Structure 1
């Protein structure tokens, strides 16, 4: 089978080289990637909904109160069992794609083409309080990465196909092709050129068309009764932007804290049981936390508080506005805890749906709070849609995606001005308080922080061997001055390392020799007397941006490199810059 596949790939590559320019080949691959990613998203969504329909069937009708508690736990345990028994490598969806681009040259393991798909369907199908968008992106990204490798494409084209897969998956799920492209650009910081824009357009359009042709015509949610923007409500929209920023910050802080509490359990089964039981308890108390929550989002858009609040067990009356606001606030605050417990206990899912869920509840809380204060007549659907955009801008650091996605999905183009203002304010405040998005925060917790600076991004593609010099002249500290002169004359560099017991204790240059020769009794001077002390050391596995930072701090062009306490050589700023220039040239000339 493997030999047959390789044979077909070879034939395709030969045919491509003879008949098709590379740019046109990329267009074909982008369409194929969008198609496959769109199908993955559709099958994942339908599989998950089939599991949910089975759980909610008549056979469990008499136990519906218990399944809110039991099934999320069962889903997490099944996910952990799948991962451990079949040794699956389930990634974190969007964070995995970001890390692959920034630190792994766009290479994603083949197993990721199916692991997130299988595990997320089980997690969300059984009630895990997360979304399917992240796993769909993770699966599609793995397909795009491996398709590029099979077609013998370079780094630049691998990144482009990963971006095409992301656009295709998001476009298929939400039916928002423009927002899908913008999300990809904001997420991966891809340079917007004609050679990258056209493939993204093709992939996103193909993904949206795939979702449209294979669906039953239903939408995740829709908005009715949208009217023109009334400038008199501008102060409320700005206040909502501040609220979105505060909730975004809360989202990221609680997500990180919940993760630290759960990961203390080293045993994966203990972690799954602990997180699953806590998740089940939360969902039992607040049933709207069950699953993705798009039904709750739809109810919020309609201003139907009662359909949301009636699912609790506290016996809240429909007309009790203050109690209703309190329960909505509790639902808002607990959603991020439920999502975090789902992921950190061993489940697989994304944060896209929880963000939309929390945004819709925040918009509803905002309107009801103003009504309680005596300010009535505000359009609920407007504030719910705009709060969803504001929370997306704050948590994901993707304000343009938020604006266009809510406009496309909810039909909110008449609200484009308040969408822009609220999203911009939420993004600005959140970014000022915390530079990480919910996705980069996830990587930061694991020491794999995404770097958006173009210069630093190139440095992450280099490793220590690219700048390490091993063939150096070395002397011992008691070597006489004439031996130091001879060693400097033999070496190609203006530096000789002074070693003692396998450690670099200093270095000597021609400047040190000349200074020593002016001293009296120079025949008694040895290397230890003339040398400079060794500068700050670096470790063999240190990232190159950290190495360059150490060089800038110490003013040194060379730094000693150690591995397990043993001196390996010197990392050279000259070689580092040469490797950097070569990497930039390679990336610029690909394609």
Structure 2
């Protein structure tokens, strides 16, 4: 098959064909994930909770997370990371290579997590499934790293296009979140993948959409001040979302036992869902009720049976949903659940937008459209939390046909994004990679440095000497045998780097035989201008050390032990080759 491909199909045509295939498979993955999740959710919530007892709301999340834990431990036998962060890690640090088990891992675990009440979404697992499939297809056909990354972006575009039936927003999502270059070479494969996925979605789901709502209330220019206020509020909520998620994850990281994490997270989630049933699952039913103006329907199962004819009580309960949704999502992840944060972000944004509109209307300040504010709220929080303002704007506009709301969508998304970006430089998806400097961004120089493999530029042909070697031994065992002009000095006991000796340091005394027995390596060695530490120094740090030290060779240590040198010339050659590969 490979021979036939090389004979009759050009590289560009082959990428187009693969992008169509990847889009189709991402669409099928979305169909399987959605159907399985809805099957579990309707079976459990529709039959057992409504017909038997409300207490099942407490039991289901614990049961679902336990089943997920058993599947991961005994069937998958590998860690199942969160969807989009794991995909970003594969692009940044694994050259776009994802393991085969990742093609099925999310399909086996995400529907159980969400269907049994986990307060997360399916978008991340769908992207991860499509990305893993595209990565392994790329490996099957021996495609290079740049093409692998492009097809992973195609999988992401296909996944979102299939889920939301928003092909343009899906393409923008792939470009914004995965930092793909916006060129003709990348645009057409993304377009083909998105188109293939949405056709697949229409084939299986027909015209059904997650948010079946069309704009009815026209945008009024007088509402601009209120949309500005909404943008400011959503910027603050974005910061709360990121902080709460990050801190809860760090607390769970301190718990060594996965069983303890399961119990703590599962019981905590069960308590929240028991008292606040709208937190069960993805939450799109709540969003649709708010868009339809049925806030009372969305809150009808409140545990205190409060009077929902009182608007202030409705507002208070909606604020509670905003506050507790991210806590429920973080508990789901902490307990070992598999899902994404895309749906929780839309949930919180819609509820917050609806709250603001209700407050404006009830106080008599103005009369604004609650459905419009609900829509714009989703876009604003999506822009703030995911750092993807264009995706947020086009997604809401495409899904709801809300192109009339472009001005408030752009205004709110820009304000929320700016505030969130100022406080948190990286999105929730990219936070961990960003802190380590391992995130691929649109900064081409930084992207190339991130993709470079440090192990490939380390040179090992430097002859080391021990600190207690005399001059005679150094000449016979090092100088004569080496074709380099630097000699690392290491301790004989643990091979730790102590210093370096330059050939220029030896040249004035190397022919004076009276010094052969009296001069030792420790007497003439010097400290290296800089030391490169494997595991600590990123490629950007290494470049900075060469620039500041003005050195041509720097020693490399790992766990304190000397392992070799990196030369500036080899580093720059490797950078040039990677740049050509990335931009080809």
TM more than 0.5: yes
Instruction: State the partner residue of 1:498.
Output: 489
Distance 2:34 2:133 in 1: 18
Cα distance in 2 for partners of 1:227, 1:367 equals 13
User: Do structure 1's residue 242 and structure 2's residue 236 form an aligned pair?
Assistant: no
Match of 2:403 in 1: 413
Q: Which residue of 1 aligns with 2:552?
A: 557
Q: CA deviation at 1:496?
A: 2.9
Distance 1:209 1:87 in 2: 31
Q: Does 1:41 align with 2:30?
A: yes
Cα distance change on mapping 1:302 and 1:442 into 2, 3 Å:
farther
Is 2:93–2:438's contact at 8 Å kept on the other side of the alignment?
no
Question: 2:533 aligns to what?
Answer: 539
In structure 2, the residue corresponding to 1:560 is in which secondary structure? strand
Equivalent residue for 2:543? 548
Alignment of 1:138-177 (within 5 A): 138-177=128-167
Could you tell me which of 204, 210, 214 is aligned with 2:204? 214
For the structure 1 residues 307 and 444, does the alpha-carbon distance in structure 2 shift closer, same or farther, using more than 3 Å as the test? same
Cα distance change on mapping 1:588 and 1:61 into 2, 3 Å: closer
Q: Is the Cα contact below 8 Å between 1:389 and 1:423 reproduced in 2? A: yes
Aligned equivalents of 1:428 and 1:72: distance in 2?
36
Question: Matched residue pairs, number?
Answer: 574
Measured after TM superposition, the shift of residue 548 of structure 1 is 3.0
Q: Distance in 1 between matches of 2:332 and 2:297?
A: 25
Q: In terms of mean alpha carbon deviation, does 54-63 or 464-473 score higher?
A: 54-63
CA shift, 1:455, in A, is 2.5
Distance 1:484 1:581 in 2: 37
Classify 1:326/1:301 alpha carbon distance in 2 versus 1 (closer, same or farther; 3 Å).
same
Match of 1:183 among 170, 173, 176: 173
In the TM superposition, 1:260-275 aligns within 5 A as 260-275=250-265
Q: Shift in Å at residue 67 of structure 1? A: 1.8
User: How far apart are the structure 2 equivalents of 1:490 and 1:347?
Assistant: 58
1:65 is matched with: 54
Partner of 1:532: helix, strand, or coil? coil
SS at match of 1:507: strand
- Displacement, 1:212? 1.1
Contact 1:68 1:280 in 2 (8 A): yes
Aligned residue for 1:438, secondary structure, equals coil
Coordinate RMSD, CA, aligned: 2.5
Deviation, 1:461, is 3.1
In 2, are the aligned partners of 1:504 and 1:534 still within 8 Å (CA)?
no
Instruction: Quickly say closer, same or farther: Cα 1:60–1:422, change in 2 above 3 A.
Output: closer
Deviation at 1:588, TM superposition (A): 4.1
* 2:574 maps to 1:574: no
Superposition deviation, residue 477 in structure 1: 4.7
Deviations, residues 139-163 of structure 1 (Å, cap 9, x unaligned): 0101111111111211111111111
Partner Cα distance (1:522, 1:52) in 2: 84
Structure 1 runs not aligned, ≥5 long = 1-11
**Relative to structure 1, is the Cα distance of residues 325 and 576 closer, same or farther in structure 2, using a 3 angstrom cutoff?**
same
Helix, strand or coil: the match of 2:500? strand
Counterpart in the other structure of 2:72: 83
Does 1:366 pair with 2:356? yes
In 1, the alpha carbon distance for the partners of 2:572 and 2:127 equals 35
Change (3 A) 1:60 1:281: closer
Change (3 A) 1:574 1:482: farther
Change (3 A) 1:482 1:442: closer
User: What is the correspondence of 1:121-520 to structure 2 with a 5 Å cutoff?
Assistant: 121-441=111-431, 443=433, 449-452=438-441, 453-477=443-467, 491-501=482-492, 502-509=495-502, 512=505
Cα distance in 2, alignment partners of residues 465 and 57 from structure 1: 55
Q: Please state how far the C-alpha of 1:526 moved relative to its aligned partner.
A: 5.9
Task: Quote the offset at 1:19 in angstroms.
Answer: 1.7
Relative distance call for 1:442 and 1:466 in structure 2 (3 A) is closer
Tell me the secondary structure at the aligned position of residue 251 of structure 2. helix
TM-score, with length taken from structure 1? 0.91
Q: 1:209 to 1:156 in 2, by over 3 A?
A: same
Question: Which shows bigger deviation, 497-506 or 487-496?
Answer: 487-496
1:110 alignment partner, SS class: coil
User: Is contact 2:211–2:399 with CA below 8 Å preserved after alignment?
Assistant: yes
Structure 2: how far apart are the matches of 1:14 and 1:522? Answer: 67
State the shift of 1:383 in Å: 1.0
Are the equivalent residues in 2 in contact too, given 1:226–1:412 (CA < 8 A)?
Answer: no
Separation in 1 of the partners of 2:469 and 2:49?
85
Q: 1:95 aligns with which of 85, 96, 111?
A: 85
Q: How far is 1:512 from its partner? A: 4.5
Q: Distance in 1 between the 2:421 and 2:293 partners?
A: 31
Quote the residue 1:5 is aligned against. Answer: none
Of the structure 1 ranges 376-385 and 399-408, higher mean CA displacement relative to structure 2 is found in 376-385
Deviation at 1:42, TM superposition (A): 1.1
| Inter-partner Cα distance in structure 1 for 2:297 and 2:134 | 41
Aligned residues of 1:99 and 1:448 also touching (Cα < 8 A)? no
Q: Is contact 2:497-2:561 (8 Å) kept?
A: no
Question: How far apart in 1 are the matches of 2:465 and 2:252?
Answer: 52
Q: In structure 2, do the counterparts of structure 1 residues 277 and 499 end up closer, same or farther at CA, with 3 Å as the change threshold?
A: closer
Q: Once the 2 structures are TM-superposed, how far is the Cα of residue 281 of structure 1 from its aligned partner?
A: 0.5
Displacement after TM superposition at 1:566 (Å): 2.6
CA contact (8 A) 1:88 1:115 kept: no
C-alpha offsets along residues 102-143 of structure 1, whole Å, 9 cap, x if unaligned? 110110001111110110011111111111111111001011
- 3-state SS of 2:488 partner: strand
Paired with 2:579 and 2:279, the residues of 1 have a C-alpha distance of 47
Residues 464 and 541 in structure 1, CA contact (< 8 A), matched pair in contact too:
no
Tell me, what secondary structure is at the counterpart of 2:562?
Answer: strand
Q: Cα gap change, 1:515/1:407 in structure 2, threshold over 3 Å: closer, same or farther?
A: farther
